[in-house]
Chains A and B, each alone.
Chain A
Amino acid sequence: MSERMFIEGNVAIAWGATMAGCQAFFGYPITPQNEITEWFAREFPRMGRVFVQTQSELGSINMLYGAAATGVRAMTSSSSPGWSLMQETVSDLMNAELPCVIVDVQRGGPGGGPIRHAQQDYFQCTRGGGHGDYRNIVLTPASSQECCDLTQLAFHLADKYRNPVLVMSDAIVGRLRETVEVAAIDFGPVPAKDWAVAGKARHGDGKRRVVDHCGDLFARYPSYQALLQSLDKRIKRMQEAEVRYEDYQTEDAKTILVAYGYTARVSKEAVNTARAEGIKAGLIRLITAWPFPYEVIGQKARQGSKFLVVEDSLGQLLEDVRVAVPSSADVGLVSILDRHMPSDGGMILPDKVLAKIKEMQ
């Protein structure tokens, strides 16, 4: 099916999951992502799919673990504090190699913070808030359409790598209403889930399946080292194949902006205005925050481009850009301190970004 809808990013995420064949959703109320949980509560029972309002985000992530262990496509969604609460089991999902999708609609922090927009979970999403060595693909939508499409891609990549995938949105992208073409996207085949639990009667060979989060304890791997080697191999495969970004007018750009989510939209407008005024600006918009496009940024830096990071935090994405460029390269920052007003309603607006671009010329 394909249908045009005028919907919020949060609702588009729910539609994307539905198009991808998600069978189970688990959620606990938290602003600014309640539209997602409420959508599933309303629509999934009608479709004969599973919805559970959980007792906490611990419940959400652990039910997701249970659902993923049965091999069905399943998802949970939360916002920053709830995402923090989930971290132990996120680490367990990585060890247990359970494909699933988690959505973090970022709000402000640290701590309780404001319930409005921010982009302060970059480290936590890309570096793993949980313990141990792991990495997971992080997709970052910047429009309602992308909320729908990247959520579908998230399910595909989770199955492809047998690894959880995170959709890192923010309150503005989540609450922004736009026209979306809701259609199922075919990303091609994924490996069969012959490891999933279902009761022995459902297995062709009649043999038991065990899903565990220890790796070597129950002979999934012959040793701890073998488990780590497998993780390492998977991380490298994802780094090689899954870097995604939008290259916007960087060809001849002297100043290249790097941003994701709502600040990428703001940045694009600033680039357009700068171009109209004859300033050669461009934008690299992250679609995957992990794996990160180190290569293209490094290459542009070596060709002499300056970089301006635009993010609604004190500077987290900034560190990845600094890793990508030579240490002598010029990297500027438009941060949460550059919002248009000091209350939590303050936003990074295009004029501020434009001023910074001009400053860097």
Chain B
Amino acid sequence: MSEKTEVATRERVTGRPRLLIKQKAGFVYCPGCHHPLVARAVAEVLEELKVDDKAIGVFDIGCNSFLVGLLDIDGVLTPHGRPPDMATAVKHIYPDNVVFTIQGDGGLLSIGADPLMGALSRAEKITLIMLNNAVYGTTGGQMAPTSLAGQITTTTPEGRDVSKTGFPIHAAEMIATFKGTAYSARGAVNNPYNYERTREYLKAAFQKQMSNVGLSFVEVICDCPSNWHLSPADSLKWIEEKMIPEFPLGEFKNVDKIE
């Protein structure tokens, strides 16, 4: 089944999310990129929860920043790595709104470790979404905090040597260890089954915020065909064979009350 037919089928079955802004010429994402799929999942979930006009998205620097152009909600763009701080302030000022961040793995786990730790330690009632594609995408494919052992990137041309550069960070597992975390999960969008599961994770995460339980987090494994130097089809294979074994999918924390 061609990609085109798949999209047509999905739209026939579920319709097109109103929140997903129709793109004109000059679509910014590379062929096969998963970022727009995450935008679609977020749009579907916000509509399903009927909070689209209460949602405020905070977007980082990186490929994720262009998602602000795909989602028809109020948005804040921030300097690199800082969305949890902005989201914290927005949520304190508008506690009844649904406030979420979208960041890449470098933005959240490397340059943004300070805001992340701050939000986790204060147990902010916000939803953090991290797109993990194991590289810095916008800047041309450098090693990220989630790059796999042996992975070739522009700053690890011989493959990531974990004895010198450390190991990939498992964000969903790490964030689950914080007492103030209500929800932590990792999904993928590399096939329809995983896409549906990721949608459920996102829905659960937003619901935790809406019931004021605690911080919620969803990591989404994404591809990056351009910087992995693989075709979109081979990228899907790489996710199954390399990414998911290192970053298992599932829920790592799901509580309704934090005492």
Contacts and interface: CB of A to CB of B under 8 A. Distances in A.
- Same complex origin of A and B: yes
A55 B79 contact: no
Given A52-B122, A59-B114, A199-B56, A213 B77 contact: yes
Contacts of A228: none
25 contacts: A23-B93, A24-B92, A50-B89, A50-B92, A54-B85, A56-B114, A59-B88, A65-B78, A66-B78, A66-B89, A69-B86, A69-B90, A70-B90, A89-B79, A92-B79, A197-B75, A197-B90, A199-B73, A208-B73, A210-B76, A210-B77, A212-B68, A212-B77, A213-B78, A213-B79
Contacts of B75: 197, 208-212
A199 B74 contact: yes
Nearest to B73: A208
A88 interface: yes
B88 A199 contact: no
B58 interface: yes
A65 B59 CA distance: 13
Given A74-B89, A89-B82, A66 B73 contact: no
A143 B238 CA distance: 65
B97 interface: yes
B117 interface: yes
A218 B56 contact: no
Contact of B121 (A55, A63, A89): A55
- The secondary-structure label for the interface of chain A is mixed
Nearest to B69: A218
A58 B114 contact: yes
Closest 10 pairs (CB-CB, A-B) = A55-B118, A66-B89, A66-B86, A62-B85, A212-B77, A201-B53, A63-B89, A197-B74, A67-B89, A200-B53
A26 B93 CA distance: 12
Interface string A64-100: 1111011010100000000000001100100010000
Contact of A198 (B69, B85, B94): B94
B219 interface: no
A69 B53 contact: no
B229 interface: no
Contacts of B87: 66
